Chain A
Amino acid sequence: MQSSSIRKYLTNKIVWMYVLSGGIVLGTTLLGLLESSVAIPIPTILHIVSENAFNIGWLNDIPKNEEMIIWNIRLPRVLLALCVGSSLALAGAAFQGLLRNPLADPYTIGVSSGAALGAVFVLFFQVTIVGLGSFTLPVVAIISGFITLFIVFGLVRLSSRNLAIETIILAGIIVGAFIGSVTSLIISLGDRDSMTQIIYWLYGSVAMRGWEHVQLILPFMLVGAFMLLIHYRELNALALGEEAADHIGVNVKRGKIFILLGASLLTGASVAVSGSIGFVGLVIPHLVRLVTGPNHRHLLPLSMLVGGAFLIAADLVARTIIAPSELPIGVITGLIGAPVFALLLIRERIGRRGYLND
């Protein structure tokens, strides 16, 4: 039958998409480990990674400093970029599905800035919640991100009945500006040194991070990703609006809460370890959707893979383009993301005008 052959073709295409994305992740990871001021050959890199991770080594006499560079500096940095990139891309895809609009992203709807405020608060005042230890940072960031989300949605609800995306973004900007001021206020209370540090942190960066940062994000990322991935059908069902989703038996309220929680976990944890890196969640799901279509069953996992690879690559550019000094990674993603955002906005407006005239 024709349809089954089409389906087979589609399935094959999806399989290839996964293989390709996985390959890109591996490739960028290797590139991230290889490219730096100190040149280390690939076999050595592979040996160090495998030796440390699985205790399987085949080379002798690896210089201690090379092992240090690869295992303690470059690998955590690359892995962190991978985690942050996939978290943000997945959160973006989820927000977009939930709000039924490709303009949504943790950054544009204000969650990132909320999480950043929480993170700055913890970093600046050196707060530690008893029992959480170093996890205070991501937990506070997640909670403040979630609260911000509710404030934004509350503002939208007050100003208009439906959750129009433009209103959400506007509310996101308003709340973001307010939070930005509060953040600035906190920072200006401190001395010059910590001020520079925090401002630089706010731009977003995965530099100077170690394994402890990977450990900070990983549990939240796994839980958040799980929560979102199992809700792919609900995200698809929302394609026709909440009422239509309700009619096919979706528990819309519960689904929404789970999806918002999952996306906030991912965003908050990412911001906690890397500052606010914008537009990853906007650009990546859009690109993936162009190739695979909007079905969230594949959109979500593929966005994770591509998002991770993208951020590793962005980090690579950030640290090589003006070497020996480094750009904040948020600058790179912003430079790429903002034009894409503008393009999407125009396309979306044209699209809507199109069907109004229909």
Chain B
Amino acid sequence: MIRIENLAGGYKNTPIIEDLHLEIENGEFFALLGPNGSGKTTLFKLITGQLPIQEGRIFLSGKEISLLSKLEKAKKVSVLTQEVHASFDYTVEEIISLGRYPYQKGIMKQLSKADREVIEDVMERTKISKYRNTQFRMISGGEKQRVLLAKAMAQEPEILLLDEPTNHLDIKHTFHLLDLLKEQQQKNGLTIFAILHDLNLASLYANRIGLLDKGRLLEVGDVDTLRKEEQLKQVYEVQVKTQAHPAVSNPQILMTPQHAANEKPIDLVKSYKLVKNKNYIHIQFDQPMRTISNGVIGEGIQWLKHFCNFHVDKHYNCSDPKRDLQERMDSYQIPHEQAVGMMTAVNLEDKVIETQEIEGIQMMVIVTAGVGNAVDIASEYTPNSASQIGTINTMVFIDAHFTDGALVNGYMSATEAKVKALQDLDIRDPQSNTIATGTSTDALLLALTQRGSVTQYAGSGTVAGKGIGQLVYQTTHKAVKKYLKRVQNNGIY
């Protein structure tokens, strides 16, 4: 479709683009990425002919571009740039009809019937028919871009060049415009060659990307090329981290600002407030903690400040426990979007709080335990209407800096310690009568201050992992014993 061979060009004596090879397939959405001054716009200007090609060649469907006349080129390539201002009060339809310029024939060069049909069609496709008689100057920025896109499409191009078309648009219009473009690409086979500033947008919409740096293409590939953090860091000179998008498989890139490194982290021992009564336990930190949890609220890996464990009735049966917990938090003025929420039927008086410093790492563990629903994870599954009190809720607070991998590691360590505690207390699965590994609804969270040097592993082979293991074991052991004692005293709970 478009083939660029050994291209060099730019301004007068200093070629900005050097030795560039690129091939863009028919019907693909190709995003050109790169920092300011890397030559993205220059490359476009070499394609449109606004700047002279000094070396190499560009082919459009096999034809060399420098041999095409201006009108021929306008029938093959159209351009959508950042917002342009129109002079005078042209209507939307008049602006779009400019796109038919290269097709008009004859002396008077009026719009033919075929031209009108194309204009109708592109207005329909870009959903701007209702603005046709509105003045272009009067419509909003997002609508203007749609009109200019319609104009570009009226040229019936083989390839559409986009030069940061969403630069000044808000999120809504950015996504609407890109959705529209993607639709044209997927349904009508339009080839799109786009300069995009936003790496994440490029990842979401492009089929392939090219990374341009100092006039040279560093790499061309599918969007997973964006997972190469080191390369991006080198090109953009910003701390980047590739993350998973929660809904689609395309990578998303997160940037870390300079000042984040200098922020004063929190002191585990001094910076929390603890509220405990028969209804709930609430620990609140001054600053957000890096948290991994499977709580009803606040699941996954997040930055959170509030950690809660609510007491519920042992026959608690709610179709929407998440909503129920949110409402409970609202009633205690705890912001639920910044919280982890767990629930238990265990008497909250039996909680165990242990604080300890292991190998210079401050830790605190809070456990509420009930083992009425104790389950051996390895035994055969039997559906069980859990009306027993049976949940071990564990909160682990650590004054250390964990990577995401270390968080998962630490999570394993804490789980292993809990299993060991149950084993040592000979807690059995009532169904299989084997030693239980936990209960059917256990919850666990690890919250880190992210202070100090970065810890990459927190398994049993590390100091941090050992520390988590020891403290979780002790605390769980005590908590389960408290529960067993209460059961003994009260008979069946």
Contacts and interface: CB of A to CB of B under 8 A. Distances in A.
A binds B: yes
Interface of A: 3, 6, 100-102, 230, 233, 236-241, 243-244, 246-251, 289, 293-295, 297, 351, 355, 358
Given A3-B132, A239-B86, A294-B89, A246 B50 contact: yes
Contacts of A249: 70-71, 73-75, 101-102
Given A248-B74, A248-B155, A249-B70, A239 B90 contact: yes
Nearest to A165: B87
Contacts of B109: 233
Given A233-B109, A247-B79, A294-B90, A239 B155 contact: no
Which interface residue of A238, A246, A289, A351 has the most chain B CB atoms within 10 A? A246
A100 B151 CA distance: 19
Given A3-B132, A239-B87, A355 B137 contact: yes
B265 interface: no
A239 B88 contact: yes
Nearest to B72: A249
Given A233-B109, A236-B94, A246 B86 contact: no
Contacts of A101: 87
B84 interface: yes
Contacts of A240: 84-86, 95, 98, 148
Contacts of A239: 86-88, 90, 95, 98
B152 to A, nearest CB: 8
Contacts of B71: 249
Contacts of A237: 98, 101
B242 interface: no
Contacts of A248: 74, 78, 98-99, 101-102, 151, 155
A239 B102 CA distance: 16
Interface string B388-432: 000000000000000000000000000000000000000000000
Interface residues of B, number: 38
Interface string B55-98: 00000000000000011011100110100111111110011001
A301 to B, nearest CB: 12
Contacts of B50: 243, 246
Interface of B: 48, 50, 70-71, 73-75, 78-79, 81, 84-91, 94-95, 98-99, 101-102, 104, 107, 109-110, 120, 132-133, 137, 140-141, 148, 151-152, 155
Given A6-B133, A246-B70, A351-B137, 5 more contacts: A100-B87, A236-B90, A241-B84, A248-B78, A293-B91
Nearest to B110: A297
A201 B90 CA distance: 39
Contacts of A102: 88
Nearest to A296: B88
Contacts of B88: 100, 102, 239, 289, 294
A14 to B, nearest CB: 13
Contacts of A233: 101, 104, 109
Contacts of A250: 70, 101
B299 to A, nearest CB: 42
